[in-house]
Homo-oligomer: A and B are copies of this chain.
């Protein structure tokens, strides 16, 4: 693997998932592989699971880790080509990416969508600039439009918990007080739609995701209908893609409750976390036996570790 910023970097998702599950059984088996190798982690935004699980994954492989909250600890970066840098930006990503590449063997970056300008966000200014200028492999720790490590952990989790060969997986929009990116939903759709699962997406009108990503995936605007016979319910809020970055609905009827879960085939409940209890999902669901959000979060370590392993082996 040369980099890991989207599903396009995955040759075979089923094989990658199998390899991650094998690694999980013996997480220290490759602790020589990362010796003398440094993972540099750059955060433009907050992170808990990603921050800790990726460090754990790197440590499991014997790597050293250098973490930097780049917005606070370093310089404001400029991304525009040809900019006359008289304002905020103190360092151009051209230099930053090349320089950091000399101190690290793998570079991992988190940079959320700003949700102001769809074209800019979907151009993936930050992560694509680092990919362009870095001279070491780049891993996305969630970019403006995707969260491929989360989606890989999700795929691993579905594989571990599925009871039938082709489970029905429902990605359900849920309400949230703040405007959130589409990144998690986008990557979940991209990773799950072409696998061993039947994927259905349900959301209120106006929350349609990017057409290209959704190609071949049915949308069901009636949440109850969507839940029928589902084996997995994946809840997630996102702001509107069409009216970009806007909150079009805060309809509390879309919260995931036990009543809705009873429409399913005793579905497992998933969420990427952090989750707002009793807004996105009721306590009764999250605290039920069918909730698998904790083992799902645990798989973040093995998603990151298999990606790091593939990248190190290619190096």
Q: Is the CB of B64 within 8 A of A51?
A: no
A283 CB-CB contact with B under 8 Å = yes
Main secondary structure of the interface of A (DSSP, over half): mixed
A53 to B46, CA, bound (A): 24
Q: Which of A12-20, A122-130, A196-204, A292-300 contacts B (4 or more CB under 8 A)?
A: A292-300
Bitwise, A53-73 to B at CB < 8 A (1) or not (0) is 101100110001010111011
Q: Is the CB of B38 within 8 A of A56?
A: yes
Give which listed residue, B36, B51, B99, contacts A273 with CB less than 8 A: B99
- In the complex, which residues of chain B have a beta carbon less than 8 angstroms from the beta carbon of A218? none
A122 to B70, CA, bound (A): 29
Interface size range of chain A in the complex: 35 or more
Give which listed residue, B47, B177, B298, contacts A73 with CB less than 8 A: B47
From known contacts A48-B68, A48-B96, infer whether A78 and B38 are also in contact, taking CB-CB under 8 Å. no
A84 to B96, CA, bound (A): 42
Q: Is the CB of A95 within 8 A of B38?
A: no
**Number of identical monomers bound together in the oligomeric complex:** 3
Q: Is the CB of B74 within 8 A of A294?
A: no
Q: Which of A3-11, A85-93, A137-145 contacts B (4 or more CB under 8 A)?
A: A85-93
Q: Is the CB of A278 within 8 A of B83?
A: yes
Bitwise, A82-113 to B at CB < 8 A (1) or not (0) is 11111101111011101110111000000000
Q: Is the CB of A56 within 8 A of B66?
A: yes
Q: Is the CB of A301 within 8 A of B100?
A: no
From known contacts A68-B52, A74-B48, A86-B177, infer whether A103 and B301 are also in contact, taking CB-CB under 8 Å. yes
- In the complex, which residues of chain B have a beta carbon less than 8 angstroms from the beta carbon of A275? 91-92, 95
- In the complex, which residues of chain B have a beta carbon less than 8 angstroms from the beta carbon of A277? 78, 83-85, 92, 94
Q: Is the CB of A274 within 8 A of B95?
A: yes
- In the complex, which residues of chain B have a beta carbon less than 8 angstroms from the beta carbon of A102? 53, 294, 297-298, 301
* A178: nearest chain-B partner, CB-CB: B90
A118 CB-CB contact with B under 8 Å = no
From known contacts A85-B279, A92-B277, A274-B91, infer whether A294 and B52 are also in contact, taking CB-CB under 8 Å. no
Q: How far is the CB of A76 from chain B (nearest CB, A)?
A: 9
- In the complex, which residues of chain B have a beta carbon less than 8 angstroms from the beta carbon of A90? 274, 276
- In the complex, which residues of chain B have a beta carbon less than 8 angstroms from the beta carbon of A94? 277, 286-287
- Supplied contacts A86-B276, A98-B297, 5 more A-B pairs, CB within 8 Å: A48-B75, A53-B103, A69-B72, A90-B276, A95-B273
